[in-house]
A and B are shown apart, each in its own frame.
Chain A
Amino acid sequence: MTKYTSDRLNVLFAKLRSKSASALGIFITAGDPDFDTSLKIMEGLPEEGADMIEFGMPFSDPMADGPAIQASSKRALEAGGSLKKTLDMVKLFREKNNFTPIILMGYYNPIYNFGIQKFLTEVIKAGADGLIVVDLPPEEDEELCIPAKECNLPFVRLTAPTTSNQRLTTVLQNATGFIYYVSITGITGTKDVPVELVTHAVENLKEHSNLPIAVGFGIKTRKHVEQVTRIADAAIVGSEVVNAIANSLDADGKAKPETIQTTLSLVRDLAAGVRGK
């Protein structure tokens, strides 16, 4: 069995905690709007201030995502994106960058279809650092969470405003890497992050776990990043970033020369809001 040994997430959060700083996580979908453009955006992210990359594995039926990420998934698939190509991109990224953690985010069916052990082996070989699989709650831990744990590969859990403390115990049982707090009741990119509620929720989570806490869903502006990173260990921005990609495309939905730069300059602006930067 291939084991994960890189530990990039722990290294990142240990370093940031020692400086009382927080992280910016940026979500993009692998292959949006096409393989080459997407890879160049990905490669440019660390320099613009992204501390970790949430790398979306495109899926035809992204049940927990709002219109922006649905559209980005669709663009990636239409441009020939697949799970295999997602892993190829991770591999290519690692040829030039060996420190930025990459968390693969997606839905279970393409993984199940790929084969669990093969998937875990390929993920570790490619150089990814953790998994977020949206439609695998603790009730289905035997599927992937436990096998990932056996390989030492972090399996990140989502919690939400609707997660009771009783439920939280179940959710955190096999959680590793960090905790992803979904700040709104709803889907990605729809409402604005409710900062006050998030403050209470993060405090509550800290009482239940020593894992770093990242907040996502509804973080759209530099101001949001500023507010959230004051409270949590990381802020994750997704919909705004893929919207920037969408808005930069030509009428046929193809990348224009400025697509990469427009997207990266948004990230630079967001990064300016991060605590400790």
Chain B
Amino acid sequence: MSYKEIANTLRNAPDENGHFGIFGGQYVAETLMPLIIEVCNAWRASKNDPSFWSELEYYRKHYIGRPSPLYLAGRLTEHFNGAKLYFKRDELNHTGAHKINNVMGQALIARRMGKTKIIAETGAGQHGVATATACALFNLECEVFMGAEDVKRQKPNVDRMRLLGAKIHPVTSGSSTLKDAMNEALRYWVSKAETHFYIIGTVAGPHPYPEMVRDFQCVIGEETKEQIMAAEGRLPDTLVACIGGGSNAIGLFHPFLDDDVKIIGVEAAGHGVETGLHAASLTGGRPGILHGNRTYLLQNEDGQITEAHSISAGLDYPGIGPEHSWLFENGRVDYVCATDQEALEAFALCSRLEGIIPALEPAHALAYIATIIKTLPKNHIIVMNMCGRGDKDLEAVLPLLEKMGKL
């Protein structure tokens, strides 16, 4: 069955209970449900309030720096000598990634709810930095949960968050990484229901988070649509984005779901999916329930969640947003993967040819593009979401590039 036979539109999901087909939902403890319902109501009210969106628009334009450019990556296009490659430059946003698009929206909702304190989880630290930034701007107290391992690995972002006034809670439970940070943030939230709002950083978690975060990230795809029409007079042939939880990808994809455009999501294959050391939930996982929603998860035969592995801390998560699981099963989006090694090569190539140091996350998207672009015709247009800048990754990447002889 092709996706065109499934529904007239793929843009109406989720239903009112947060289900994308069998995925999504609200799988949380009853102790959390009153909070989730409160967020649902606040989101619904804001979503239907034009003054909310015009307030957000003000910050998008004057604070984040939107719209971000759509840039023809001329030297890479020349280098590959195949299809034409555009970058959606979301790495140029204030704080250096797409994460701020979502944080700004949720922070405004928290303010409308009268919440004065914010909780966030973070892996690589990009969402934590974006949250700490919005909290500084709006005079909200900020507490960020971060796996103790990640606190060590991502020191520059930890320092940025502290400078911005956030309090860091290093998480030592479980495997001390992103999934545990999210567990701990949810546990903490239950005990601080009255005062705290939880800003989730990706299109996962219980309803309404997957929908709400997506709607805040859709600005990426909406701008792209206008910009490509202005530049080329038509829609692109192919969209490509990297996927951890999948917020940058859904932001680019969603406005194009009903259009005749090929859409590709790139997961992190780590050392290779066959080695078991990867973060490719769709390619190497199966459906299950974690962090409030049903989605594809990395898990063992007993249904215990297993560790994800990726060179990119931002993709290092054993799950994926439920809408991606739905788009995977109904066939609308193709999900592929790229290894650590391939991402490193793309990281170096993009830096040298375009003068753009990509984050390791979008380097995965570029790595996959490198495998298909040469055989595509010259009039084929690809848009890739350059969702973050790579400064944060230098410490991890430089020794590896040196070994590869790329420096």
Q: Are B26 and A139 in contact (CB under 8 A)?
A: yes
Q: Are A135 and B174 in contact (CB under 8 A)?
A: no
The contact of B30 among A60, A82, A84, A171, by CB within 8 Å, is A171
**In the complex with contacts A158-B31, A167-B33, A61-B302 CB distance below 8 A:** no
CA distance A163 to B193 in the complex (A): 12
Confirm or deny: B350 has a beta carbon within 8 angstroms of a beta carbon on chain A: no
CA distance A61 to B290 in the complex (A): 8
B contact residues around A83 at 8 Å (CB)? 302-303
Per-residue 0/1 for A73-90: is the Cβ within 8 Å of any B Cβ (1 yes, 0 no)?
Answer: 010010000111000000
A contact residues around B180 at 8 Å (CB)? 61
Confirm or deny: A265 has a beta carbon within 8 angstroms of a beta carbon on chain B: no
Confirm or deny: A169 has a beta carbon within 8 angstroms of a beta carbon on chain B: no
Q: Are A185 and B190 in contact (CB under 8 A)?
A: yes
**In the complex with contacts A61-B174, A63-B186, A185-B193, A135-B27 CB distance below 8 A:** yes
B contact residues around A84 at 8 Å (CB)? 302
Find the A residue at minimum CB distance from B27.
Answer: A135
A contact residues around B28 at 8 Å (CB)? 63, 135, 137
Which of B33, B193, B303 neighbours the largest number of chain A CB atoms within 10 Å of its CB? Answer: B303
Confirm or deny: A29 has a beta carbon within 8 angstroms of a beta carbon on chain B: no
The contact of A70 among B173, B287, B301, B305, by CB within 8 Å, is B173
Per-residue 0/1 for A189-217: is the Cβ within 8 Å of any B Cβ (1 yes, 0 no)?
Answer: 01000000000000000000000000000
The contact of A134 among B29, B37, B191, B305, by CB within 8 Å, is B29
Find the A residue at minimum CB distance from B26.
Answer: A139
The contact of B31 among A110, A136, A139, A162, by CB within 8 Å, is A162
CA distance A158 to B33 in the complex (A): 11
CA distance A83 to B186 in the complex (A): 25
Find the B residue at minimum CB distance from A67.
Answer: B173
Q: Are A113 and B35 in contact (CB under 8 A)?
A: no
CA distance A226 to B56 in the complex (A): 54
CB distance from A231 to the nearest CB of B (A): 20
B contact residues around A187 at 8 Å (CB)? 187, 190-191
Q: Are B33 and A139 in contact (CB under 8 A)?
A: yes
Confirm or deny: B356 has a beta carbon within 8 angstroms of a beta carbon on chain A: no
Give residues 122-177 of A contacting B (CB, 8 Å): 134-137, 139-140, 157-160, 162-164, 167, 171
Q: Are A60 and B304 in contact (CB under 8 A)?
A: yes
Confirm or deny: B25 has a beta carbon within 8 angstroms of a beta carbon on chain A: yes
Q: Are A136 and B190 in contact (CB under 8 A)?
A: no
Confirm or deny: A109 has a beta carbon within 8 angstroms of a beta carbon on chain B: yes
The contact of B25 among A64, A110, A140, A184, by CB within 8 Å, is A140
Q: Are B26 and A140 in contact (CB under 8 A)?
A: yes
Q: Are A112 and B31 in contact (CB under 8 A)?
A: no
CB distance from B27 to the nearest CB of A (A): 5
The contact of A137 among B30, B173, B294, B305, by CB within 8 Å, is B30
CA distance A99 to B30 in the complex (A): 30
Per-residue 0/1 for A221-260: is the Cβ within 8 Å of any B Cβ (1 yes, 0 no)?
Answer: 0000000000000000000000000000000000000000
Find the B residue at minimum CB distance from A159.
Answer: B30
Give residues 167-202 of B contacting A (CB, 8 Å): 173-174, 179-180, 183, 186-187, 190-191, 193
CB distance from B369 to the nearest CB of A (A): 34
A contact residues around B25 at 8 Å (CB)? 139-140
Give residues 23-57 of B contacting A (CB, 8 Å): 25-35, 37
Find the B residue at minimum CB distance from A59.
Answer: B304
Q: Are B304 and A162 in contact (CB under 8 A)?
A: no
Give residues 222-281 of B contacting A (CB, 8 Å): none
Q: Are B34 and A162 in contact (CB under 8 A)?
A: yes
Q: Are A136 and B35 in contact (CB under 8 A)?
A: no
Confirm or deny: B299 has a beta carbon within 8 angstroms of a beta carbon on chain A: yes
CB distance from B53 to the nearest CB of A (A): 28
Chain A interface extent, by class = 35 or more
Per-residue 0/1 for A33-67: is the Cβ within 8 Å of any B Cβ (1 yes, 0 no)?
Answer: 00000000000000000000000000111111111
Q: Are B31 and A113 in contact (CB under 8 A)?
A: no
B contact residues around A163 at 8 Å (CB)? 30, 33-34
**In the complex with contacts A114-B303, A187-B187, A136-B27 CB distance below 8 A:** yes
Confirm or deny: B351 has a beta carbon within 8 angstroms of a beta carbon on chain A: no
Q: Are A185 and B191 in contact (CB under 8 A)?
A: yes
Q: Are B190 and A64 in contact (CB under 8 A)?
A: yes
A contact residues around B306 at 8 Å (CB)? 60
Q: Are A113 and B30 in contact (CB under 8 A)?
A: no
Find the B residue at minimum CB distance from A180.
Answer: B30
Confirm or deny: A16 has a beta carbon within 8 angstroms of a beta carbon on chain B: no
Confirm or deny: A111 has a beta carbon within 8 angstroms of a beta carbon on chain B: yes
Q: Are A61 and B179 in contact (CB under 8 A)?
A: yes
Confirm or deny: A182 has a beta carbon within 8 angstroms of a beta carbon on chain B: yes
Q: Are B29 and A109 in contact (CB under 8 A)?
A: no
CA distance A11 to B214 in the complex (A): 51
CA distance A137 to B30 in the complex (A): 6
Which of B31, B33, B183 neighbours the largest number of chain A CB atoms within 10 Å of its CB? Answer: B31
Q: Are A190 and B27 in contact (CB under 8 A)?
A: no
B contact residues around A110 at 8 Å (CB)? 302-304
Confirm or deny: B288 has a beta carbon within 8 angstroms of a beta carbon on chain A: yes
A contact residues around B292 at 8 Å (CB)? 135
CB distance from A47 to the nearest CB of B (A): 31
Q: Are A160 and B30 in contact (CB under 8 A)?
A: yes
CA distance A136 to B29 in the complex (A): 7
In the complex, the 4 A-B pairs of residues with the closest C-beta atoms, listed nearest first: A113-B303, A186-B191, A110-B303, A64-B29
A83-B302, A83-B303, A167-B33 provided; 11 other pairs, C-beta below 8 A?
A60-B174, A60-B306, A63-B28, A108-B27, A109-B289, A109-B303, A134-B29, A137-B26, A160-B30, A171-B30, A185-B31
